[in-house]
Amino acid sequence: MRRSLTALALVPLPALAQDDPFAPAFPEQMDAPALEATAVSVETLAGGLEHPWGIAALPDGTFLVTERPGRMRLMAADGALSDPIGGLPEVDARRQGGLLDVAVAEDFADTRTVFWTYSVPLDGGMTAPAAARGVLSEDGTEMTEVEVIFQGDPPSDSPMHYGSRILPDGEYVWITTGEHSAAATRDRAQDLMTTWGKVLRLTADGAQPEGNPFSEDEAATGVWSYGHRNIQGIAQDADGRLWISEHGPRGGDEINLIEAGANYGWPEVSYGPNYDGSPVGRGVSSAPEFTEPVYVWRSATAPAGIAFYDGDLFEDWQGDLLVSSLNPGALIRLSIEGERVTGEERLLTDVGRVRDVLVDADGALLVLTDEPDGRVLRVVPEGFPDA
Render pLDDT for 231-252 as a digit per residue (tens, 0 to 9): 999 999 999 999 999 999 999 9
The band of 384, judged by pLDDT with boundaries at 50, 70 and 90, is: confident
At 17 the three-state DSSP class reads helix
> How much is the pLDDT for 12?
36
Map out the domains of the chain as residue ranges: 15-381
The Cα 293–Cα 37 span in angstroms is 26
pLDDT digits (tens, 9 = 90+) for 108-161: 999 999 999 999 999 999 999 999 999 999 999 999 999 999 999 999 999 999
Torsion 367-370-371-372 (CA) sign: positive
CA atoms within 13 A on the CB side of 125: 4
DSSP state string for 101-161: EEEE-TTHHHH-EEEEEEEEE-GGG-EEEEEEEEEE-TTSSBEEEEEEEEE-SS-BS----
pTM of the complete model beyond 0.85: yes
What CATH superfamily is the domain 15-381? TolB, C-terminal domain (2.120.10.30)
The amino acid present at 364, given as its one-letter code, is A
Phi-psi region of 252 (alpha: psi -120 to 50; beta: other; left: phi over 0): left
Torsion 78-81-85-90 (CA) sign: positive
The amino acid present at 276, given as its one-letter code, is D
> How much is the pLDDT for 21?
81
> How much is the pLDDT for 321?
98
The Cα 333–Cα 343 span in angstroms is 8
> How much is the pLDDT for 31?
97
pLDDT digits (tens, 9 = 90+) for 305-349: 999 999 999 999 999 999 999 999 999 999 999 999 999 999 999
Which residues are annotated as catalytic? Answer: 161
State the average pLDDT for the chain: 94
